[in-house]
Chains A and B, each alone.
Chain A
Amino acid sequence: MSDPHRLRRRAQAIHGWLLLTPALAMLTTFAFYPTVATFWASLFSRGTRRRPTEFVGLENYQRLFDDPTFWLVAKNNLLYAGVTIPVSILLALAMALWANAKIPARSFVRTAYFTPTVLPMIAAANLWLFFYTPGFGVLDQIGALFGAASVNWLGQPETALWAVCVVTIWKEAGFFMIFYLAALQTIPPDLREAAQIEGASRLAYTRRIVLPLLMPTTLFILVNAMINSVKLIDHLFILTKGGPSDASKLILYYIWENAFAFFDAPAAAAMTVLMLAVLGALAAFQFFVIDRRTHYR
């Protein structure tokens, strides 16, 4: 004898799985399988015509840890993330607070801030190439007005990475601002007035009410910024190609070089696995620690 409740529940479970199937299939094909395949590939030696690939265990990782360029690139990427993430978020927040206030030409200000986001990264990089070019670049031209010497921002190891950071911040801040702006507009104006009546200054209102209510947005932006600090390397191809002497090289660029310029796929695979591990750890931290302390409406 079949219990109708059991049957119904089973039918529901089947429905659920059927609904999940398309997403699961896509993710498996384009995310899970490549991850596993990459990890697998990182355990084999690089095959040449004379020596076929063979299983070498963690040797590729060992090779990576012995490679000074890898450490330099990792350090570069840390600095790049450490600078671009907080600066672009703070800038986005400041711009959003300003563009949300009652100012003249508000929609112009918003559009102006958002414009860099619309440009493809390659176009933005070309634009900045024009700013940075020694001699006739905009920065040098302005510098010359004040009698400053010409600086080759992209051409010297001390400044190249910083110049790349500036482009990223310029590109991202406007994008993040849009999220903050949208979140700010969901805060009812009553709250500001209630705070005003209670005697809160603008600063106190911003600190005690606005920032906490923006926390979910900040978190979302933080995750995006973190991903971008690893993922967004298009401008390197235009601006510096990782140079001079690897001073502005980032991990993903180095992975690309290993895979497609040096044809060292196992090294690239090992680096990719390490990168995924770090990103996974960050995601877990975000999910288990920061998320718990955030107020969601």
Chain B
Amino acid sequence: MTQQPPFVTLEGVTRQWDGRGGVRDVSLAVPEGAFVSILGPSGCGKSTLLRLISGLEMPDAGRVRIGGRDVTGLPPADRGLSMVFQSYALFPHLSVRENILFGMRVRRVPRATRAHKLAEAVAMLGLEGLEGRKPAALSGGQRQRVALARAVVSGHPLCLMDEPLSNLDAKLRHSVRRDIKALQRRLGLTLVYVTHDQTEAMSLSTHVVLMRDGQVEQIATPRALYAAPVSTFAAEFIGDPPMAIVEGAALGRPGALVGLRPEHLALAPAGAAHLTGTLREVEYMGAETHLIVAHPAGRGLIVSVPGHAAWQPGQQIGLSLPEEHRVLFDAQTGRARERPAPGSRGHPAPVAPSP
């Protein structure tokens, strides 16, 4: 992967309220045309980070750069970006057409340009025939598309989205997800996308910024994040089901925590097993069956076996944890100790915090 010059840069950005919440000392570089997800549990500062980029929030410390320009003190309108809100923030008294045109109207864009761009955006998002409707007369998915249209019609190279899919039902979420990705590719947008859903982040983005308690935990490509989590937090946040963690002592590695992705966890005959646990639950998923195993030294031990498995809860079950797929974490700090064996390692993160 070639290293592009960063388009959006955050340098040691801090924004807190009475020393609490918000984000602390966040540094990050987003290449042009990248699809970057900001991922993390609720309340970890994702929205705050996005609002700092947009200029809706001003940092207590640190700098924000967009397109090589220091925009730290600039109001949102002067930063050349568009934003899609979680609530869509459509103007309820304006029609779809007027909602999409709002920005161009206040910026006094000539009428001919407006009409042309409106037609383009309406066609791109499949809103034909809805131009005259008020937001209240639209379905959730349609409102979402109006919000997207309003964002893309501005033609700004940077687009920010704050959990844009969280108000849609599961089925719609999948299709809109693909639409957003296609839109981003087609327009060459640099997209910063906030989500708490790791599947969304992993499937959409070129880079993932994983956050925890207002700080960046890890910045990596989805692949690297999956294969080489820097901490048990990252390991257990990513993946469905997430990484299993076993105390090292149980595996002859005292002082360490051993992590293993569920697909590498396998059933083993009693003699060859690294661990023997009790089967807690059997979840039949159709194509596979999840066996949830309880062991005093481990958490998240889930083995998937193909098809239907004739196991009963309460049975003793032997597990093998192949050495080459183990990720080691420090038991005290929870940080990754060693890189996993070559072969399973992902690419080094192309988006690294700038010094």
Contacts and interface: CB of A to CB of B under 8 A. Distances in A.
Nearest to A193: B56
A209 B75 CA distance: 19
Interface in B42-98: 54, 56, 75-77, 81-83, 85, 87, 89, 91-93
Contacts, number: 63
A204 B154 CA distance: 17
Contacts of B76: 193, 196-197
B102 A208 contact: yes
B190 to A, nearest CB: 16
B103 interface: yes
Interface string A176-207: 00000000000010110111111111001000
Nearest to A196: B76
A212 B1 CA distance: 51
Interface residues of A, number: 20
A149 to B, nearest CB: 51
A209 B91 contact: yes
A35 to B, nearest CB: 37
B136 interface: yes
Contacts of B91: 191, 194-195, 209
A208 B106 CA distance: 9
Contact of A197 (B77, B87, B93, B105): B77
Nearest to B87: A190
B222 to A, nearest CB: 28
The range of chain B's interface size is: 20 to 34
B102 A197 contact: no
A198 B56 CA distance: 12
B107 interface: yes
Given A194-B85, A297-B136, A199 B103 contact: yes
Contacts of B106: 195, 198-201, 204, 208
Nearest to A207: B106
A197 B107 contact: no
A249 B82 CA distance: 59
A198 B87 contact: no
A295 interface: yes
Contacts of A193: 56, 76, 83, 85, 89
Contacts of A204: 106
B182 to A, nearest CB: 23
Given A190-B85, A204-B106, A208-B106, A198 B93 contact: no
Nearest to B93: A295
A213 interface: yes
A176 to B, nearest CB: 21
A198 B150 CA distance: 9
Interface in A202-248: 204, 208-209, 212-213, 215
Contacts of A190: 85, 87, 89
Contacts of A295: 92-93, 134
A209 B83 CA distance: 18
A294 to B, nearest CB: 9
Most buried by B among A190, A198, A209, A215: A198
Which of A188, A199, A213, A297 has the most C-beta atoms of chain B within 10 angstroms of its own C-beta? A199
Contacts of B89: 188, 190-191, 193-194
Interface in A64-104: none
A198 B154 contact: yes
A90 to B, nearest CB: 21
Contacts of A199: 77, 103, 106-107
Nearest to A211: B93
A238 to B, nearest CB: 43
Contacts of B93: 209, 212-213, 215, 295
A216 B174 CA distance: 39
Nearest to B102: A198
A195 B136 CA distance: 19
Nearest to A203: B106
Contacts of B103: 197-200
A195 B92 contact: no
A297 B83 CA distance: 24
Contacts of A196: 56, 75-77
Contacts of A195: 91, 102, 106
B92 A194 contact: no
Contacts of B150: 194, 198
Given A191-B89, A191-B91, A295-B92, A197 B136 contact: no
B87 A213 contact: no
Query: Which of A194, A195, A295 has the largest count of B CB atoms less than 10 A from its CB?
Result: A194
Contact of A188 (B83, B87, B134): B87
Contacts of B107: 198-199
Closest 10 CB pairs of A and B: A198-B103, A190-B89, A199-B77, A295-B93, A194-B89, A200-B106, A197-B76, A212-B93, A204-B106, A197-B83
Interface of A: 188, 190-191, 193-201, 204, 208-209, 212-213, 215, 295, 297
12 contacts: A190-B89, A193-B56, A193-B83, A194-B83, A197-B83, A198-B77, A198-B154, A199-B77, A208-B106, A209-B93, A297-B92, A297-B136
Given A190-B85, A191-B89, 15 more contacts: A188-B87, A193-B56, A194-B91, A195-B91, A196-B75, A197-B56, A197-B82, A198-B102, A198-B106, A198-B154, A200-B102, A204-B106, A208-B102, A208-B106, A295-B93
